[in-house]
Amino acid sequence: MIDEVDAALAALLHARLGADVAVDFSRPADSASAVRGRSVTLYLHDVREDIDRRFTDFDEVRGDNGRVRERRMPVRRYQLSYSVTVRAADDAAEHRLLGQVIACLARDDAVPGELCSPSLRRHGLPVLLALWPRRDPAVPVTDVWSALGAPLRPSVDLLVTAPLDLDVAEPAGPPVETRLLEASRREGVKLEARRAPRQADEPSPAGSGARRRAAAPRG
């Protein structure tokens, strides 16, 4: 996946800056003496998964008959951080070239699909581009250059988010042809409440009012 992203970025820069601009992915300190003329260096210094775009539910793949054939692990998204620097005849030419690189990379939110490999565009997910992204934790640009052992140069921080198919699939079980429904009947017991007969000397539960209503003449 990383080499395919490199190829897509090189194709994008060549298409918009011209074929005479060299594009390489070596360490900036190593590329300084190896490249002549105008050049753009994209140094990959960090790779991590984009957890916010991770899906855990497997995708169902159906056959021609419409039945589920297999279940595949969803495509993962990975973030690739590049430090982009340029080389030219002098400082003024380098600044001009760096400005052109910024305009080239900021023009679109994603690499055009025709510049991506078939495997990158197979799932219809874009290869996203972002300049100077906010990262957590943030990596100071001075730390990158110090680790390279090279003097600090003007650079652009480019973040590329690309899909990766891990090619993990589980075959689906056989289709359900028949269904067996079992039911059981439980006999219920009906309980009846019986009131014991009231004795003659036992007061009525309704009180004297009930007695008066009972003794009232009928109309």
Here the CATH number for the domain that contains residue 161 is 3.30.2000
Does residue 128 have a pLDDT over 90?
yes
Q: With respect to residue 136, please indicate whether it lies within any of the assigned structural domains.
A: yes
Query: What pLDDT shows up at residue 34?
Result: 55
Residue 129 has pLDDT above 90, yes or no: yes
pLDDT band at residue 53 under the 50/70/90 scheme: confident
Q: What is the mean pLDDT of the chain?
A: 77
- Overall domain count for the chain: 1
- Top pLDDT among 182 and 105 is at 105
Residue 182 lies in a domain: no
pLDDT of 74 over the 90 cut: no
Q: Does 109 fall in a domain? A: yes
**Those residues with Cβ within 8 angstroms of residue 135's Cβ, 6 or more apart along the chain or in another chain:** 81, 159
Alpha-carbon span 157 to 150, nearest angstrom: 17
Asked whether residue 59 is assigned to any structural domain, the reply reads yes
**Residues of the domain holding 13:** 2-171
Whether 207 maps to a domain, the answer reads: no
Going by C-alpha positions, the residue among 133, 131, 127 that lies closest to residue 112 is 127
**Does some domain include residue 58?**
yes
208 domain-assigned = no
Q: List beta partners, residue 128.
A: 110, 161
**What pLDDT does 208 receive?**
45
Cα 76 to Cα 30, 130, 157, 164: the distances in Å are 32, 18, 23, 5
141 belongs to a structural domain: yes
Instruction: Average the pLDDT over 77-102 and give the result.
Output: 92
